[in-house]
């Protein structure tokens, strides 16, 4: 026994000693870094998906070549249940990187409450950099409750309506619906029993009937933004969505279930849009690549979300934003800010489009000639780019997951089961959300 433990201890000490000797040695001989004394090294965490890692790798190489004294080390966010959990754990442990480009605005409150993020408007040129890229009304939606900016708006995935052209043509629906009435008229034709066995084979649409909080980011929330002309759930820190617009959205989905246009079940065994069991789907631009690779024969189009019949002006929607932030643990805030500015430069935005197929939050996305060749090659993505100026993010409120959970439950009671009127469900949701927010103050 004693000999065994001696061996274990000796082995452990040898390994640790070797690590101390070898690892720093490896670092010193890395070809990308200059002598330690002169060089500032920043750590940058991009999202762990392959496209973004490829993009991050490209820009870090460019930066390191151009800035020998400020070297950036790229390491994708450690894989976990969610980026938010990893970042919160890193903030608690003081192990955050200098920069991260996968900041979901919905989790920003948790990060700032934990004192994890640096205010970016402390840098003198923040305003000019941010405003030159992002339209001001949109930029203001990223302001933190303390009045500052802790994030640089970076990329967005606007939620739009995909529709199956073949199913539309088969049903005699010529145009994609733009309003609720047009949607119901189309839904009546689209929902049908194709083989006459008494069972519906094609549905106008379908949503997961379980009250899963993030599902609301693809139906109630973007529809509310669209119906209200760009308003979200909160106004000046208070829940303020019990409006006719939100009630109309709840009523819209309630009717979809009540009239049988949406099934009261969930599909197992594959995406019903890919399987051509439903004619419409609400999703972001990432679905384009998925459809093209998994269902190359599927003919589809993309249009803005349906809006109330009396709606005027552009159609807004939810943009699933991912932004850039600098953490308070950085020893080199000025250098980190320089790298952030480099990341949001037009040339890097072009790379974001071409390498990762993701839309930068730019006002000139469709007017800047630099991006024109990309959109000529990718006309479907152009539809999403047209939506970018009219996208909104989630509110900077605490506990967004629980807030959307409460909203989901009221939506379920009203729309899926028809047990509450739209006005009652919306009012109850607002009251429940207010209670959660008050508890968090």
Partner 1 sequence: MNAHSHTDTPRHADRVGYALVSPYVVFFLLFVGYPLIFSFVLMFHRWNIVTPMEWIGLRNFERLLGDPLFYASITNTFIFLFVHIPLQLAAALGIAVLLNMNVRFRGFFRTLYFLPVVVSGVVVTILWQQLYAYDAGLLNRLMTALGAARIPWLVNPDIAMGSIAIMATWKNVGIYIVLFLAGLQNIPSELYESASLDGASPAARFFRITLPMLNPTVVVVLVLSTIGGFSLFIEPYVLTGGGPMQSTLSGVLYIYYQAFNFGHMGYAATLGFVLAVLVFAVVVLQRKSVETEGTV
* Rounded Cα–Cα distance for residues 276 and 371 (Å): 33
Among 413, 415, 429, 433, binds partner 1 (CB under 8 A): 413
Question: How many residues interact with partner 1 (rule CB under 8 A)?
Answer: 26
C-beta pairs of 110-115 under 8 Å, 24+ apart in sequence: 110/84, 110/398, 111/87, 111/150, 111/325, 112/144, 112/146, 112/150, 113/398, 114/88, 115/91, 115/328
Q: Which is nearer to partner 1, 209 or 350 (CB)?
A: 209
User: Residue 360 in 3-state DSSP?
Assistant: strand
Q: Which is nearer to partner 1, 110 or 276 (CB)?
A: 110
| HSE, side-chain direction, 13 A CA sphere, residue 383 | 17
Per the rule left: phi > 0, alpha: psi between -120 and 50, beta: everything else, 313 is left
Residues 256-295 that bind partner 1 (CB under 8 A): 264-265
Among 402, 421, 423, 427, binds partner 1 (CB under 8 A): 402
Q: Which is nearer to partner 1, 15 or 417 (CB)?
A: 417
Indicate whether 114 belongs to the interface with partner 1 (CB under 8 A): yes
Indicate whether 349 belongs to the interface with partner 1 (CB under 8 A): no
**Neighbour order of strands in the sheet with 70-74:** 70-74, 40-45, 99-103, 322-326, 152-156, 359-360
Indicate whether 435 belongs to the interface with partner 1 (CB under 8 A): yes
Minimum distance from CB of 419 to partner 1 (Å)?
A: 7
Indicate whether 122 belongs to the interface with partner 1 (CB under 8 A): no
Query: How would you write 261-283 as a 3-class SS string?
Result: CCCCCCCCCCCCCCCCCECEEEE
Give just the sign of the alpha carbon dihedral 57, 63, 66, 71: negative
Among 32, 57, 110, 271, binds partner 1 (CB under 8 A): 110
**Alpha carbon 411 to chain centroid, angstroms:** 22
Among 46, 247, 432, 433, binds partner 1 (CB under 8 A): 432
| Binding segment (CB under 8 A) for partner 1, from list 107-115, 120-128, 176-184, 335-343 | 107-115
Among 89, 185, 334, 370, binds partner 1 (CB under 8 A): 89
Indicate whether 409 belongs to the interface with partner 1 (CB under 8 A): yes
Q: Which is nearer to partner 1, 89 or 334 (CB)?
A: 89
Q: Which is nearer to partner 1, 20 or 439 (CB)?
A: 439
- CA nearest 394: which of 216, 250, 242? 216
Minimum distance from CB of 260 to partner 1 (Å)?
A: 16
Indicate whether 113 belongs to the interface with partner 1 (CB under 8 A): yes
Minimum distance from CB of 89 to partner 1 (Å)?
A: 5
* Rounded Cα–Cα distance for residues 79 and 83 (Å): 8
Residues 300-339 that bind partner 1 (CB under 8 A): none
Q: Which is nearer to partner 1, 87 or 343 (CB)?
A: 87
Token pair recorded at residue 372 = 């024109």
Minimum distance from CB of 90 to partner 1 (Å)?
A: 9
Q: Which is nearer to partner 1, 32 or 110 (CB)?
A: 110
Indicate whether 412 belongs to the interface with partner 1 (CB under 8 A): yes
Indicate whether 417 belongs to the interface with partner 1 (CB under 8 A): yes
- CA nearest 382: which of 80, 89, 158, 52? 158
**Interacting residues of 116 by C-beta distance below 8 A, sequence separation 6+:** 87, 88, 91, 96, 327, 328, 329
Minimum distance from CB of 303 to partner 1 (Å)?
A: 32
Residue identified by tokens 């739009």 is 160
Minimum distance from CB of 97 to partner 1 (Å)?
A: 16
| Binding segment (CB under 8 A) for partner 1, from list 67-75, 280-288, 317-325, 396-404 | 396-404
| 206-245 footprint of partner 1 as x/- string (CB under 8 A) | ---xxx----------------------------------
Radius of gyration of the chain (CA): 25
Minimum distance from CB of 80 to partner 1 (Å)?
A: 12
Helices (H), 46-125: 50-66, 83-93, 108-113
Indicate whether 88 belongs to the interface with partner 1 (CB under 8 A): yes
User: Residue 296 in 3-state DSSP?
Assistant: coil
Q: Helix 333-343 crosses helix 50-66 at what angle (to 10 degrees)?
A: 120
Minimum distance from CB of 188 to partner 1 (Å)?
A: 24
Cβ neighbours around 222 below 10 Å, total: 28
Point out which residues bind partner 1 (CB under 8 A).
88-89, 91-92, 110, 113-114, 209-211, 264-265, 399, 401-402, 405, 409, 412-413, 416-417, 419, 432, 435, 439-440
């Amino acid at each position: 026994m004693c000999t065994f433990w001696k061996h274990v201890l000796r082995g452990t000490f040898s390994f640790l000693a070797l690590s101390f000797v070898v690892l720093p040695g490896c670092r010193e001989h890395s070809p990308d870094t200059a002598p330690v004394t002169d060089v500032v090294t920043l750590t940058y965490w991009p999202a762990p998906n392959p496209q973004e890692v490829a993009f991050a790798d490209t820009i870090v190489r460019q930066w390191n070549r151009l800035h020998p004294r400020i070297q950036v080390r790229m390491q994708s966010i450690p894989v976990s249940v969610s980026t938010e959990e990893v970042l919160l754990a890193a903030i608690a442990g003081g192990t955050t990187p200098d920069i991260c480009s996968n900041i979901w605005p919905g989790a920003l409150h948790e990060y700032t409450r934990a004192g994890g993020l640096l205010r970016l408007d402390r840098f003198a040129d923040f305003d000019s950099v941010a405003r030159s890229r992002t339209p001001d009304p949109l930029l203001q939606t990223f302001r933190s409750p303390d009045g500052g900016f802790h994030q640089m708006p970076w990329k967005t995935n606007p939620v739009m309506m995909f529709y199956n052209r073949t199913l539309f043509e088969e049903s005699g629906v010529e145009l994609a619906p733009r309003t609720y009435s047009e949607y119901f008229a189309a839904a009546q034709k689209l929902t049908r029993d194709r083989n006459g066995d008494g069972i519906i084979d094609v549905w106008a649409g379908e949503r997961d009937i379980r009250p899963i909080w993030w599902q609301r980011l693809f139906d109630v929330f973007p529809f509310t933004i669209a119906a209200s002309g760009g308003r979200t759930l909160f106004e000046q820190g208070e829940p303020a969505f019990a409006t006719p617009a939100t009630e109309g959205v709840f009523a819209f989905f309630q009717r979809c279930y009540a009239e049988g246009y949406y099934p009261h079940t969930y599909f197992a065994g594959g995406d019903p849009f890919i399987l051509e069991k439903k004619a419409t789907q609400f999703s972001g631009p990432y679905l384009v690549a998925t459809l093209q690779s998994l269902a190359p024969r599927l003919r589809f189009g993309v249009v803005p979300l349906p809006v109330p019949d009396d709606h005027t002006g552009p159609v807004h929607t939810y943009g699933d934003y991912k932004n850039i932030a600098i953490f308070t643990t950085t020893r080199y805030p000025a250098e980190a800010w320089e790298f952030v500015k480099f990341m949001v430069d037009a040339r890097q935005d072009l790379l974001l489009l071409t390498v990762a197929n993701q839309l930068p939050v730019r006002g000139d996305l469709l007017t800047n000639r630099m991006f024109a060749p990309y959109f000529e090659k990718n006309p479907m993505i152009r539809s999403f780019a047209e939506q970018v100026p009219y996208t909104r993010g989630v509110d900077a409120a605490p506990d967004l997951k629980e807030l959307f959970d409460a909203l989901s439950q009221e939506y379920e009671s009203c729309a899926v089961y028809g047990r509450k009127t739209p006005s009652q469900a919306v009012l109850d949701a607002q009251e429940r959300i207010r209670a959660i927010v008050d508890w968090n103050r």
